Amino acid sequence: MRFGLAAVLLGGVLQGSVFLPMKFTRHWQWENTWACFSTVAYLCSPWLLASLLVPHFPRMLGEVSPRALVATLLFGSGMAGGVLMMGLAYKYVGMAITFAIVLGISSSVGTLVPMLVLAPDQVLRHQGLAVIAAVAIALVGTAVVTQAACKRDASKKNLGTSVPSESGGSSARQVMIGLALCIASGLFSSCGNLGFAFGGQISQRAHDLGAGPTGAASAVWTMILLPVFLCNFTYSLYLLRKNQSGDLFREPGTRHYWIWGVLMGIGWMAGMAAYGAGALSMGKLGTSVGWILFLSSMIIVANALGALTGEWKGAEAKTLAIMAVGIAILMVAIVVVGTAGTSG
């Protein structure tokens, strides 16, 4: 159980820092970085990892029922929309508020649904009640963090300064677009954990062939992330053509940007692999206990990095205090869900 908790927390740290390299690719458009990132994160990394860790992969997938594969791909399609909207939301409202809203919504849906469907007998027991309490606490923490981010944006607008975001502005319309994208992304992003929770036949088959927790998790992610790659890469190609930004790949002085894009992809998949391995080792409620723990740690790391990179520069002391309270509440949620994990 300790391995599971540590692995999930590590995954949250890695995932929470995924967008950080985008701050260092200023001469590329969003679609340049996203095309590189999505190729590595959603296609190359999971298939390479599964091929290395699962015996007879991908032939193993042919031994899984078509129904299970189709269901997993459908959940992946939902996640694809969520990931794309999250990437777009980052352009409008920055890393801190994007992670706070998206992951707050995703945490509740992605945590409660697997528990209600896969382990309904645990709902009214100590472990199930602890998970529900952790979700409620995390939603409160998310609301507080979001309030702080909105106050930050309002104060900077009044001062005539722009909120650090990739869209280059801070108008009310841009903020509303960003918030709408965050909410929609949160709902659809939970499909990733739902696909992982209901893709047990794939992970079980990989385990039967001798794969460990990381390999079994990677086998499931290859199916979930295939539609995610197709959606995000296709949209990136569309923007590259529309904005005629493909030439930016060859712009002098940007060669090292490819390294940032690749690091984003590797970090993303490493985080998901760590979460998957941890969740599978945590028992019947692993995907519920692990998901809220995973996302709460992501919010904390993303906001800490956002502060370090200037997203909160110039914010009032009261606003920073609200953010600190939100982070503290999320840490309480982590402690509560930790008790749920160790009590099962």
pLDDT tens digits for 296-338? 788 788 878 877 887 777 778 888 888 888 888 877 876 776 6
What pLDDT, in 10s, does the model give residues 154-169? Answer: 776 665 554 444 444 4
Averaged pLDDT score across all residues of the chain: 82
- Identify which has the larger pLDDT, 341 or 330: 330
Q: Mean pLDDT across the stretch 30-48? A: 93
**Residue 125 — φ and ψ, nearest 5°?**
-95, 175
The pLDDT tens digits for 208-229 are 999 888 888 889 989 999 999 9
Q: Give burial (CB, 10 Å; 0-12/13-18/19+) of 217.
A: buried
Tokens of 170: 């801070």
Cα–Cα distance measured from residue 267 to residue 260, given in angstroms and rounded to the nearest whole number: 10
Residue 142 CA to residue 327 CA, distance in Å, equals 8
Q: Are 196 and 276 contacting, i.e. CB atoms less than 8 angstroms apart?
A: yes
Nearest residue to 206 (alpha-carbon basis) of 111, 39, 64: 64
Task: Name the residue with higher pLDDT: 111 or 9.
Answer: 9
247 or 86: whose pLDDT is higher? 247
Count of other CB atoms within 10 angstroms of residue 291: 34
pTM listed for this prediction: 0.73
Report the distance separating Cα 275 and Cα 54, nearest Å.
17
Measured CA to CA, the distance from residue 344 to residue 291 in angstroms comes to 16
Residue 10 one-letter amino acid:
L
Burial class (CB in 10 A: 0-12, 13-18, 19+), 284: middle
Q: Per-residue confidence at 284, pLDDT binned at 50, 70, 90?
A: low
Residue 62, token pair as written in the block: 């042919």
Q: What pLDDT, on the 0 to 100 scale, is given for residue 171? A: 66
CB neighbour list of residue 192: distance below 8 Å, 6 or more residues apart: 75, 76, 79, 82, 83, 110, 224
Please say if the pLDDT value at position 262 is more than 90: yes
Contacts of 68 (CB under 8 A, 6+ apart): 199, 201, 202
**The pLDDT of residue 180:** 86
The Cα 156–Cα 169 span in angstroms is 11
